[in-house]
Amino acid sequence: MKRLSYWARTAAVAMSLGVGVGGCNRGGSGSTSTEGEVVAVVGDGSITRKELEAKLAEQPAFVRSRYATLEKKKEFLDNLVRFELLVQEARRRGLEADPEVRDMLEKVMVQRLVQLQTEAPEAAEAAEASDAEARAFYDSHLSEYVKPERVKVSHLLLTGARGTPERQKALARAAQLATEIRRGLDVPRAFDAAVRANSQDSSTQASGGDLGFRTRQELEAVGGSALADAALSLKTVGQLSTPIETDQGVHLLMLQARQPGSEQTFEQAQPRIVQRLSAERRAKALDTLVQSLRDKTRVEIKEDVLTQVNPAPSEARAP
């Protein structure tokens, strides 16, 4: 089936909903009250003064100002008449029964139902989060709003327990390697090569000693405060540290990248938190409605038929 034109689709849906863009009444001249005064008769329908004024009111102020004269009012009204003519023709052709029109109508009705369900005053009031609730959310999700500084470093580790000859050898070797690395024209590449050839950390040796992005707390977990202090003191990418002693041994560190910390106060985050909580509550209220409808409506899934459904997309219909 070919797709309907824009005008036919819009007209059919609008009239099925009973709120056509033209807002026409059915059944002739209408009443004599101000709101029922007929400004145009179109076939078996009519457009009232109230309906015309309502359509004008929907326009932006700068657009409405263009329709002060009788000629311009006729021009605007003619657009409504045009739409009504197309609506009536669509109805005469039976397009209300067209599957595509019905499918579109159902989508519009569901959208309207969801809007009414979530935007009703009582629903909006129920969904609104209090200051206390927003504060509780902020405190329980603090990591989303307060992010500490992180650095990405690579390390070269030479093991040796404190107070042993192995530690002294590790210190001397680390100092020698640092001198050799700094002599190179490409310090980062020289450091990478030194790690692969000398590091005794088997978990990072193959990756050039990459420790990834770490916070101070995470760096302390790796090598204590000495390692964390040294890593965070590196200022420029490619900068090499002096030998650092930890319980594991002796480290050389190179800075690969830095991510500055950020802190969003509760007052700054509160509007978005309230919006988030309200959206979650509206979604939950809609889920509750759907569940209540399921509870009182027979829903049966035919799995034997479902297994035969072909998920491959069908050929697109011609426009």
Is 50 exceeded by the pLDDT of residue 82?
yes
Between 25-34, 40-49, 243-252, 299-308, the lowest mean confidence (pLDDT) is in 25-34
Q: For residue 48, which of 68, 23, 27, 69 has the smallest C-alpha distance?
A: 23
CATH number of 256's domain? 3.10.50.40
Q: What is the pLDDT of residue 25?
A: 61
Cα torsion angle, 195, 196, 199, 203, sign: positive
Q: Are residues 162 and 251 in the same domain?
A: yes
Q: Are residues 159 and 255 in the same domain?
A: yes
Q: Are residues 159 and 95 in the same domain?
A: no
Stretch 274-282: mean pLDDT:
90
Which of 65, 84, 101 is the endpoint of a domain? Answer: 101
Q: What is the pLDDT of residue 116?
A: 86
For residues 244 and 230, the answer to whether their CB atoms sit within 8 Å is yes
Q: What is the pLDDT of residue 86?
A: 92
Please, how many CA atoms are within 13 Å of residue 168, restricted to the half-sphere of its CB?
3
Q: Identify the residue with better confidence: 30 or 111.
A: 111
Q: How far is CA 131 from the centre of its chain?
A: 24
Phi, psi at residue 158, to the nearest 5°? Answer: -115, 115
**Is residue 269 one of the residues assigned to a domain?**
no
Which of 260, 279, 306 is the endpoint of a domain? Answer: 260
**Is residue 251 one of the residues assigned to a domain?**
yes
pLDDT in tens, 149-158: 999 999 999 9
**Is residue 141 one of the residues assigned to a domain?**
no
pLDDT in tens, 7-29: 444 444 444 333 334 445 655 44
Stretch 199-203: mean pLDDT:
94
Which of 77, 101, 125 is the endpoint of a domain? Answer: 101
Q: For residue 52, which of 32, 31, 67 has the smallest C-alpha distance?
A: 67
**Is residue 308 one of the residues assigned to a domain?**
no
Q: How many domains does the chain have?
A: 2
Q: Provide the domain limits for residue 255.
A: 149-260
Q: What is the pLDDT of residue 125?
A: 80
pLDDT in tens, 129-145: 889 999 999 999 998 99
Stretch 37-45: mean pLDDT:
90
Rounded to whole angstroms, the Cα distance separating 8 from 42 reads: 17
**Is residue 291 one of the residues assigned to a domain?**
no
